[in-house]
Amino acid sequence: MISHLLQYRLKCFLKDRQMIFWTLAFPLLLATLFNLAFANLSEIGTFTAIPVAVVIDEDNPQNRALKSALETVSTQTGGGGLFSLFQTDDTTARQLLSANQVDGVIFADSSLHLEVQKSGLNQTVIKSFLDEYIQTSQALSQMTILSPEIRLETLLPVVQDRRDYIAAVPVGKDQLDPAVINFYSLMAMTALYGGFWGLRIVNENQANLSNQGARVSVAPVHKLLRLVVDIVAALTIQYAIILIVLAYIQLVLGYHFGYQLGWVVLAALVSCFMGVAYGACVGAVIPAGEGVKTGILILTTMVMSFLSGMMYHGIKYIVTTAVPVLAFLNPANLVTDAFLALYYDGASSRYFMNLAILFVFGVFFSLLAFAVLRRQRYASL
């Protein structure tokens, strides 16, 4: 009996093309679009040599020192220099600038000044370099006044010593890519879209919501058994779906979920359970037609996913720091955070806490749905 119910329920679900679109094809589509749109974003802050035009009057002896200083930093070893220089004349330099070919033009004749088109980081780096140049020469001339006994030759080695006082400490074990947030959040959305199955189960089991519900209500099968079988069917399909999405994100698109596959798969399972239960809860608790319930499910899912960083990953941080309670009450954020915790440092207490709260949410939604659905009797249908 059970296998019969399960078999036909699975068949029903799988043949519903619209449901399969929203639960499977839509997340895959979004993942693909995210990949296309965000692929280059992580490289934005990466340093590449800053293109600079230099208009220099070499007859002035002071400018020769500047020129050699510029050339030194531009041909540094190890991954290219600071600037890529274009030494030209006045008009060409301005043309390069207005065509955005260079970020700034350094004019060195009797005085030194910089011309830029906007206030950006690259422009600030150029300015900072030139500042340092005049600051050093000012310091040298100031010292010859303050302590006349000092000889410039003794100071030059100090100037030329570009000792690096900084030790870079790695941020995490691997290089962390913020773009994963969008994809983890997408997993959360996929899990919550599993709610479509939960919603449908409630609809098709409630005698007052659909004809099918009325028919199965008079069938000689225990209601709880029917419900449990339906939920198992929904979970099976949704779990398969979320694993497909996960495999697609990791294997095809190449965004990592960390190295502990077992825990990743467990997080996916708990998320699915929560999602299906959420849909069932929406279906049972909200007294409205199917269209409105579907609308509410989509809208709440989108809001929760947005707050967990699906469209813009910074939102997750803003919510977590500004309204920590909201971060813990948002199931989508819990799913995202569970995956993020795994990515950060494997199965940690943070991961287990997220999973525990998710599980509690799932149980809570299920109980709420069950409390509404149980013991309903109809005088007539």
Site for another protein in 21-60 (CB under 8 A): 21-22, 25-26, 29-30, 33-34, 36-41, 44-47
Which of positions 86-105 make contact with another protein (CB under 8 A)? 97-98
- SS3 of residue 148 by DSSP: coil
- Does 322 engage in binding with another protein (CB under 8 A)? no
332 close to 305: Cβ distance less than 8 angstroms: yes
- Kindly tell me which of 103 and 204 has the beta carbon lying closer to another protein: 103
- Kindly tell me which of 121 and 356 has the beta carbon lying closer to another protein: 121
354 close to 337: Cβ distance less than 8 angstroms: yes
| The binder of another protein chosen from 170, 220, 254, 287 (CB under 8 A) | 170
Q: How far is the CB of 298 from another protein (least distance, A)?
A: 10
Instruction: Give the containing element (helix H, strand E) for 116.
Output: strand 112-116
Cα gap 245→260, rounded to integer Å: 17
- Kindly tell me which of 178 and 213 has the beta carbon lying closer to another protein: 178
Q: How far is the CB of 15 from another protein (least distance, A)?
A: 14
Q: How far is the CB of 162 from another protein (least distance, A)?
A: 7
Handedness of CA 13, 17, 23, 24 (dihedral sign): positive
- Does 326 engage in binding with another protein (CB under 8 A)? no
User: Please, how many CA atoms are within 13 Å of residue 157, restricted to the half-sphere of its CB?
Assistant: 3
The alpha-carbon radius of gyration of the chain (Å, integer) is 32
- Does 135 engage in binding with another protein (CB under 8 A)? yes
245 close to 187: Cβ distance less than 8 angstroms: yes
- Does 78 engage in binding with another protein (CB under 8 A)? no
Residue-wise burial string across 93-122, b where 16 or more C-beta atoms lie within 10 A, e elsewhere: bbebbeeeebbbbbbbeeebebebeeeeeb
- Does 171 engage in binding with another protein (CB under 8 A)? yes
Which of positions 114-133 make contact with another protein (CB under 8 A)? 114-125, 127-132
Question: Position of tokens 């590449």?
Answer: 48
Q: How far is the CB of 58 from another protein (least distance, A)?
A: 19
**DSSP classification of residue 41:** G
- Kindly tell me which of 167 and 325 has the beta carbon lying closer to another protein: 167
* Contact residues for 355 (Cβ-Cβ < 8 A; gap 6+): 266, 267, 270, 338
| Site residue total, another protein (CB under 8 A) | 82
Q: How far is the CB of 273 from another protein (least distance, A)?
A: 27
Which of positions 264-303 make contact with another protein (CB under 8 A)? none
- Does 14 engage in binding with another protein (CB under 8 A)? no
